[in-house]
Amino acid sequence: MIATGFILAGLLGLGAYFLPVVQAAKSSGTAFAIPTLDPKQASVAPFTVLLLGSDDDSKFPPDRLNTQSMILVRVDPGSRQATMLSIPRDLWVPIPNQGYGKISWAYQLGGAPGAVAAVESNFKVHIDDYVWIGLNGLVKLVDKLGGVNVVVTNPVMDDFYPSDLAAGGDPYGYYRVAVLPGAVHLDGVHALQYVRSRHGDLRGDFARSERQQQVLLGIKAETSRLNVADLPALAGAFNGEVKTSMGLGRIRQLMGMAGDFDGPGINRIVLVPPYTSEGYVGGQSVVLPDWSTIRPLVHQSFP
Amino acid sequence: MRRALVSGLLVIAMLAFGIGVYQVAGHFKAGHPHVQRPTQTGGPVLPGTVYVVQGGAIYGYQKGRFSQLTSESGWMQPASDPSGGRLVAVRKQGDVSDLYLLARNGVISAQVTHNSSSTAELNHWAFYPRFSADGSQLFYDYDPKDWYNPYRVDLSIFASPVDPASTKAVQWTRPNQYTGGDVSPVPLRGGGLIYTKFSIDDKSKVHSQIWLQQRPGSVGAALTDPEADCIQPTLSADEHLLAMVCSSGQPLGGQISVTAFYPATASLGQPAVVARGQLLASPAFSPDGRTVAYLAPATPGGGFQLWTIPALESTAPAPKQITTNLDLDATSAPVWVEPAL
Note the pLDDT tens digit of each residue in B244-293: 999 988 877 789 999 999 988 889 999 999 998 789 999 999 999 999 99
Can you give the pLDDT at residue A38?
46
- Is residue B175 helix, strand or coil? coil
In whole angstroms, what is the distance from residue B147 CA to residue B153 CA? Answer: 11
- Which residues on chain A are in Cβ contact (under 8 Å) with B306? none
Could you write out the three-class secondary structure of A54-122? ECCCCCCCCCCCCCCEEEEEEEECCCCEEEEEEECCCEEEEECCCEEEECCHHHHHHHHHHHHHHHHHH
Can you give the pLDDT at residue B301?
81
Can you give the pLDDT at residue B236?
96
Kindly determine whether residue A263 and residue B253, on different chains, have CB atoms separated by under 8 Å: yes
Model confidence at B297: pLDDT above 90? yes
Which of residues B308 and B264 earns the better pLDDT score?
Answer: B308
β-pairing verdict for B281-285 and B291-297: antiparallel
Helix (H) or strand (E) holding A9: helix A2-17
- Which residues on chain B are in Cβ contact (under 8 Å) with A200? 151-154, 178, 180
- Is residue A276 helix, strand or coil? strand
In the CATH hierarchy, which fold is given to the domain comprising B36-337? Neuraminidase (2.120.10)
Can you give the pLDDT at residue A1?
73
Q: CA of B278: which chain A residue's CA is closest? A: A183
Which one of A180, A205, A222 would you mutate to disrupt binding with B, by most B Cβ within 10 Å of its Cβ?
A180
User: Residues B115-136: what's their mean pLDDT?
Assistant: 95
Q: Is the ipTM of this complex over 0.85?
A: yes
pLDDT in tens, B9-44: 887 877 777 777 666 666 666 666 689 999 999 999
- Is residue A22 helix, strand or coil? helix
Helices A135-144 and A205-223 cross at an angle (nearest 10°) of 40
In angstroms, the Cα distances linking B303 to A147, A183, B50, B332 are 8, 11, 18, 14
Range of the domain at A264: 2-301
Residues 6+ apart with CB under 8 A from B18: A9, A10, A12, A13, A16
Q: What is chain A's alpha carbon radius of gyration, rounded to the nearest angstrom?
A: 20
A147 contact B CB<8A: yes
What's A149's domain CATH number? 3.40.630.190
- Which residues on chain B are in Cβ contact (under 8 Å) with A222? 32, 300-301
> In tens digits, what is the pLDDT along chain A, a chain of 303 residues?
777 777 777 777 666 666 666 565 555 554 343 434 444 455 678 999 999 998 776 677 777 788 989 999 999 888 888 999 999 999 999 999 999 999 999 999 999 999 999 999 999 999 999 999 988 888 988 998 889 999 999 999 999 998 877 666 677 888 999 999 999 999 999 999 999 998 878 888 888 898 999 998 888 888 777 766 777 777 776 667 888 898 877 777 777 666 666 666 888 999 999 999 999 998 999 999 999 999 999 999 888
Can you give the pLDDT at residue A37?
44
In whole angstroms, what is the distance from residue A220 CA to residue B300 CA? Answer: 10
What is the phi-psi region of residue A170: left when phi exceeds 0, alpha when psi lies from -120 to 50, beta otherwise? beta
Can you give the pLDDT at residue A195?
92
Model confidence at B218: pLDDT above 80? yes
In whole angstroms, what is the distance from residue A213 CA to residue A194 CA? Answer: 11
Please state which of the ranges A239-248, B177-186, B328-337 shows the lowest mean pLDDT: A239-248
Please state which of the ranges A245-249, B54-58, B325-329 shows the lowest mean pLDDT: A245-249
Q: CA of A5: which chain B residue's CA is closest? A: B14
Minimal CA separation from A190 to chain B, in Å:
13
Kindly determine whether residue B10 and residue A233, on different chains, have CB atoms separated by under 8 Å: no
Can you give the pLDDT at residue B29?
64
Which one of A157, A203, A223 would you mutate to disrupt binding with B, by most B Cβ within 10 Å of its Cβ?
A157
User: Residues B74-80: what's their mean pLDDT?
Assistant: 98
Kindly determine whether residue A14 and residue B282, on different chains, have CB atoms separated by under 8 Å: no
Question: pLDDT class for B180, splitting at 50, 70, 90?
Answer: very high
Domain ranges of chain B: 36-337
Can you give the pLDDT at residue A2?
78
Task: Specify the number of domains making up chain A.
Answer: 1
Minimal CA separation from A77 to chain B, in Å:
21
* CB-based contact B78:B100 (threshold 8 Å): no
Question: Cis (ω within 30 of 0) for the bond into B339?
Answer: no
Model confidence at B161: pLDDT above 90? yes
Range 196-255 of A in CB contact (< 8 A) with B: 199-203, 206-207, 213-214, 217-218, 221-222, 224-230, 233
